[in-house]
Structures are given as C-alpha cells and as structure tokens.
Structure 1
Amino acid sequence: MTSYGGYARTGYGTQGGEDGGGFMSASQQGSQGGERKSNKDDALRPVTIKQLVDCKESYKDAELSIDGVPVTHVTLVGQVRSVTPATINNTYRLDDGTGIVEIKQWIDAENPDKSPRFAPDTYLRVFGHLRTFNGKLSVNASRMRPIEDFNEVNYHLLEATYVHLSLTKGAAAGGGQQQGGDGDGMFVDSGYGAGDARAVQARLAPCSRNAQAIFKFLLNAAGDGQHISQVSSFTGLSNKDIMSAAEELLNEGLVYTTEDDETWAILEM
C-alpha cells in the first residue's frame, strides 16, 4: 500500500512476504481452500493501546470490539517498558503514551532466531491477535520489529485516530460508510470541478451501494491507493463484496489498480 510509505508498502502484511506478519490476502486464503469465518478475520486494525484497554467484549459471541466493530487482528506501536523472558515466550509491557498493554511473543524452539528479544526503551511495531484470559487482555504477537524512524510512531497514532473518527463521526454524520449515494456531498473538497463531479456522479449512479461506499472511501482517503484490507476496515464489507464492487468501478472507469489487483485509487477526470 503506497499511501503508508516505506514501512507498510505491503498493506500491513496482507500481501505476504517477509513483512507479512502472518496475515494472508483473500487470494492466498482462497488458494488454500479455507473459508473466512467473518470479516473480522480479514481486517487488520491500526489501534492505540488505550483503545485496546477500553475495548469491549460482547458476552453473546465473545467478540472483542472497538467502536462497535469486531476486531481480532491489530497493529500497534510503542516503547518497551519491560521484558519478562521465559522458556516458551517473552512478555513485553508496551507503552504508546495512551496506555500500557502486554505483548506475548511466542518462541519457536526449533528456530529461536525468528523470535529476537528486544531491549527496554526500544520502539516496536507489533502485528498480532487480541486475546483475553481471566478477564485480562493481551496481544499475541505474530511479528514484531524495531521502529527506525520515529515519524512512524506519529503516523500510526494519526492513522488510528483517522480510523476511529471514520467509524464514529463519519457514520453519525453521513449515515454510515455503506450507505453511499449521498449526492453532491460526496464530492465536497474532492478536487473535482462542478462538471467533472456531475460526470462522475452519472457514472456512479448505476453502481451498487457497495461500489458507491467504496468509491466514497477512496475519494476521501489520502495517498496513492488503498489496499483491500483498509477498504474492509473502513466499510465493513467482506473481501468478496469488495472485489465485486471494485469490478463495477473499474468497468465504469472510476478507479484503477495500483501496485496489485487488490489496491485501488480514484482515476482523475
């Protein structure tokens, strides 16, 4: 995903490779014949530690949720305050200025070099899965790496805030990301002139509600393209629905693929 700069060009690991963090794209999952249980299994959510500390658990289905959206996979940043080593795992207390959370790094006995231990005061990016045990929340890290540029910390906090506002204030103001079709308001501050806006709106009119919701998200998103994982996080749509809706937008000449077939950007008029 080019919009996240060098540190996350792989779309937070959803496109595989060494930066994968253990997360697979929809095409990779499909090739293994597995079915996704729900969209929460696909979306990787950038979060602050305070959001994790405050996240709610639905006792009906035991799903952890942030801003009312079920979440399992998260990425966060922070500074190591302490490390507690053990035979099978290392436990880190990570602090991002909003709170402190425990990170469990499980050690591969056959490949211990794949689980390097990080010293206190090191800034880390963590990819992991939320877990609760006896009422205590922690993150099981699938991948951890040191942060080399502090701008990544600032960017992450801003991105987590952006996602939070999109899911809360955006839904309250616009009736939800999936409503779509909100007329001229979609094009406010978009950079389109009046004529271009009308032309785009005419092309968008026959598209499905899902396609309109995705177009709205792409129109307001910063950067050179948005990966399917981010589209899913913001719209709440499944990867299957996103791919189908994206095909509509491609056929209408409204978007184009960037670095791969699961990353899209608005096609300027």
Structure 2
Amino acid sequence: MVDYGYNNQYSTSTSYGANGAADGGGFVAGEPQSSPAGGKGGYGKDTVRPVTIKQILDAQQPHPDADFRADGEPFGQVTFIGQIRSISTQPTNITYKVDDGTGIVEVKQWIDSDANPDKMDLESSKPRLVEDGYCRVWGKLKAFNNKRHVGAHIIRPITDYNEINYHLLEATAVHLFFTRGPPTAQANGQKTGDTNGAAVSRQEFTSATDGALSNVSPLARRVFNTLKNSAQSNEGLHVQMVASQMGMPVSEVYKGAEELLSLGIIFTTVDDNTWAVLEA
C-alpha cells in the first residue's frame, strides 16, 4: 500500500509491483499532516493517489499551470486499473485507451529509443499488454488542448484479477476520507424509520426481501448474494467488482441487476453502475 499523506494505517511501501518508474524516478509519499477533512490540506501533491477514471475526468484545474484536484485535494501522480480498449503504436509513444467502467482515458507511454537490448529481451518475456486485457497504470495527469491524458511512468498487465477489487476499494476509501473524514464506529442494532416514524427492524426488511427474491431468476439471485455477502464500503459495489466476484461477463451481471432494481431490492449509489442492497 502507498502512504497517501494522511494519518493512516497503511504502510509506506508500494505493494503494486512498481519498483521505480521511467520518466525519472518513483513516487514519493508525503508526510502525514492534519486531517484534510478538518480543512487543512494534508495530501502531498507528489504522492500517488488511487483513483477511478471518472475522478480523473472530473478533476478540477483552476488554470493550466495549477495542480489538479479531486475532493478538494491536489494530486500529481495517479494509479488506476482498467481494460484496454485499443492500442495505437507511434514512432515515439504507445497510446492506450483504458476503460474502467466509470470513463475512458488515453494513456501515453513514451518509447525509450536508448533502451538496453538485454533489458528489451527481458521485457519481451513478461506478460504483454493486449486489447481487452486489464492493466495497472501509474502516471501523471496532463492536459493538452483541453483534452486530458495520463503520461504513464509504468503500465503493466493485471495477472491477479483480485487486484481490480482491491484498487476500487482503495480508491473508495481515500475518496471517503477526504469527503467525510476518518471512519467512525457505527452504532450496532440501528433501526430504519418508515414514513410514519415507526421503527422497522432489519429482520423485517430481510423477510420482505426474501419474499421478493422468490420471484427473480437464478441469475438475479446470484447477483443479490454477491452484493450482500461481499466486503464493501457504504457505497456498495461497482458492476466490474460484482462481475469479477461472480466470474461472469458484465453484460450478464447487468441483466440480473435490472431485475433487482425493478423490484427495489437493490439501489444505485454513486452512479448507475454501483449498487447496494436495500437492507444494508
């Protein structure tokens, strides 16, 4: 894990598999400072931040020379995971179009014309980046002619698909820290009030859900069980995470989810592709 520069429980070593970077060195973690949620910027802009592509596209930049900001905090280096939609090779660079389900961004990796032949032979023996394959990107967000791209220090294929889930959860945790502050303990045994102010117990919700589930397809039931039993934040799970957990295509997950959404068993949270179980 990377030290993101806030009072954290993470270690300061990078566990993503990147030992240094092209384009002049690795990532430097900022020193822990006061909580950003308390109004002071504790996020060092030179740290590497896990993000979704939507966060990249929505990042604010007051003027061309200003730092990009997400959740009000500046950042320089980013890391994200996505599926390669296309690969375009030019004499000086390779451009990848990467899609993570929240958006698409171009990733440019410059070709090192002075690379050692022995190193090139070693690189050729490693897993290769291919269209429709998943990749991990580390790099710097840049803008040119009002179009954003990421200049990649490192881009490598994903060999363990659990890394997709880990990344999305990590990006969510950092986002929640900056928008809501440090996590706090939730009271046990909370009850949800109905429109008349009467307390409705979690058990009653479960009973109602069980009744609705009796009318859904086996596929929808599998999607429900995955959403209910998988570790997640209070924002639920993204469709890509559900598909990875189930080992199924995203298109099939959408079919099951549509049944559950129409019955009000699950609901959308941060976007149309992220869902949570109503009882939770």
Q: TM-score, normalised by structure 1?
A: 0.52
Q: Measure the CA separation in 1 of the matches of 2:177 and 2:154.
A: 27
Q: Quick one: which of 74, 79, 100 aligns to 1:75? A: 79
For structure 2, which runs of at least 5 residues remain unmatched after alignment? 4-10, 31-41, 187-280
> Following the alignment from structure 1 to structure 2, what is the Cα–Cα distance between the partners of residues 155 and 26?
20
Instruction: Specify the alignment match of 1:127 in structure 2.
Output: 138
Alignment deviations for residues 124-165 of structure 1 (CA, whole Å, 9 cap, x no partner): 101101100011111000011111111101110111011001
Work out whether 1:105 is the aligned partner of 2:109.
Answer: yes
The sequence identity of aligned pairs, in percent, is 46
Deviation by residue 1:19-42 (Cα, 9 ceiling, x = unmatched):
223324479xxxxxxxxxx96442
Contact 1:102 1:139 in 2 (8 A): yes
- 2:68 paired residue among 53, 64, 67: 64
Task: Select between 109-118 and 56-65 the one with higher mean Cα deviation.
Answer: 109-118
Q: Structure 1 unaligned runs (5+)?
A: 28-37, 171-176, 178-184, 190-269
Q: Per-residue deviation at 1:9?
A: 8.9
Q: 1:39 to 1:157 in 2, by over 3 A?
A: closer
Q: In structure 2, do the counterparts of structure 1 residues 167 and 115 end up closer, same or farther at CA, with 3 Å as the change threshold?
A: farther
Structure 2 SS opposite 1:162: helix
Separation in 2 of the partners of 1:104 and 1:115? Answer: 18
1:146 to 141, 157, 161: 157
The whole-number CA distance in structure 1 between the counterparts of 2:106 and 2:114 is 24
Native 8 Å contact 2:29 2:44 kept in 1: no
CA change 1:146–1:137 in 2 (3 A) is same
User: The residue matched to 1:167 in structure 2 has which SS?
Assistant: helix
**d(CA) in 2 for partners of 1:119 and 1:50?**
23
1:133-212 counterparts in 2 under 5 A?
133-170=144-181, 188=185
Contact 1:78 1:95 (C-alpha < 8 Å) held by counterparts = yes
- Contact in 2 for aligned 1:124/1:144 (Cα 8 Å): yes
> Of Structure 1 and Structure 2, which has the larger fraction of its residues in helix?
1
1:59 is paired with a residue whose SS is coil
What stretches of structure 1 move > 6 A for 4+ residues in a row?
114-117
Letter in 1 for 2:103: G
Q: Is the radius of gyration larger for structure 1 or structure 2?
A: 2
Q: Distance in 2 between matches of 1:61 and 1:76?
A: 23
Q: Cα offset for 1:85?
A: 0.5
SS in 2 for 1:57: coil
Matched residue pairs, number? 159
> Is the contact between residue 2 and residue 15 of structure 2 (CA under 8 Å) also seen in structure 1?
no
In 2, the alpha carbon distance for the partners of 1:142 and 1:115 equals: 15
- The C-alpha deviation readout for 1:64-111, integer Å capped at 9, x for no partner, is 111111111000101100011000000000011111000001000011
Partner of 1:252: none
Q: Does 1:23 align with 2:34?
A: no
